[in-house]
Amino acid sequence: MTQSLPDALADVRRAYRLLWSYQKRVLNIVAMIREQLGFVPHHIEYQFSRPGQRMESPETWMWDALPFSLIGFDATNQGDPKAIGARLLYIEVVSDTGLMIEKDRGGGDWEPNPLVFSPLEESRSELLLYLVENRRNRRGDVSWRNNIMPEVEWPLADGGHDYKTAGVRTYGERIDLVELGDPVALSNRVELFRINADRELAGDGAV
């Protein structure tokens, strides 16, 4: 049976209220992860453009108005990025893997259309946690965004990876948000990530 317009608009209002709660919860999770791992905020990466005053422009995608659909948070351990062992934490929020798959398939040539996404039941809402560690002495004015992160392949691979020529090691895990349903579950899962990352990134000296 076709849904009535009043019912459809009620669903829209319900969706906005749910989205508000979801985004507040995601920010809380990101902050808790940073705090537990000993990192501080550094940079926010929007996977889509921000619309600003261009909302009605034909070039603007509707995803530009939904930044939390795919968004990344950089955090640092406040160490000098030139120093061996300095680390950057990257937390990417993938609210719908169906969107990420279609975005990657299009390569920016077309706006991802939810009508062709994988079914909701086959999709996931994920956090991608990555540690990027500098493994060589660097000179001059060095920043994570301008000098170190461009030297590795994005998106980062899950597990550990050693970019020997770049002097960078990385470790990453994909975590289903279902696993982070309460503060205890979140803390336990982040601690497991920390243990796995420290084991994988353990090494001696510069490369």
CA 21 to chain centre: 19
Residue 119's alpha-carbon distances to 15, 68, 166, 182, 190, in angstroms, are 18, 20, 39, 26, 29
Report d(CA 105, CA 135) in Å as an integer.
Answer: 33
By DSSP bridging, strand 168-176 and strand 40-46 are unpaired
Query: Using CA atoms, how far apart are residues 78 and 42, in angstroms rounded to an integer?
Result: 9
Residue 203, pLDDT score: 63
pTM (2 d.p.):
0.91
Buried b (16+ CB within 10 A) or exposed e, 32-42: ebbeebebeeb
Q: Which residues of 105-139 are buried (b: 16+ CB within 10 A; e: fewer)?
A: eeeeeeebeeeebeeeeebbebbbbbbbbbbeebe
CA-CA distance, 74 to 70, in Å (whole number)?
A: 14
**Residue pLDDT, tens place only, 150-199:** 888 887 889 999 998 889 999 999 999 999 999 999 999 999 999 999 99
Residue 206 has pLDDT above 70, yes or no: no
Cis previous bond, 119, omega within 30 = no
| Domains in the chain: boundaries | 28-201
pLDDT tens for 56-109 read: 888 899 999 999 999 999 999 988 899 999 999 999 999 999 999 999 989 889
Kindly give the residue spans of alpha helices, DSSP state H, lying in the chain: 5-37, 97-106, 183-201
Across the chain, what does the average pLDDT equal?
Answer: 92
| Beta strand segments in 83-125, E | 87-94
Q: Each residue of 20-39: pLDDT tens digit?
A: 999 999 999 999 999 999 99
Query: pLDDT digit string (tens) for 105-147?
Result: 898 899 999 999 999 999 999 999 999 999 998 888 999 989 8
Residue 40 CA to residue 75 CA, distance in Å, equals 5
C-alpha 133/C-alpha 127 separation (Å) is 19
- Count, residues in the chain: 207
Q: Supply the pLDDT for residue 126.
A: 96
Q: What pLDDT does 155 receive? A: 77
pLDDT at 207: 39
pLDDT reported for residue 1: 54
Q: Which amino acid would we find at residue 20?
A: W
Q: In the predicted model, is pLDDT for residue 46 greater than 60?
A: yes
Model pLDDT, residue 205: 43
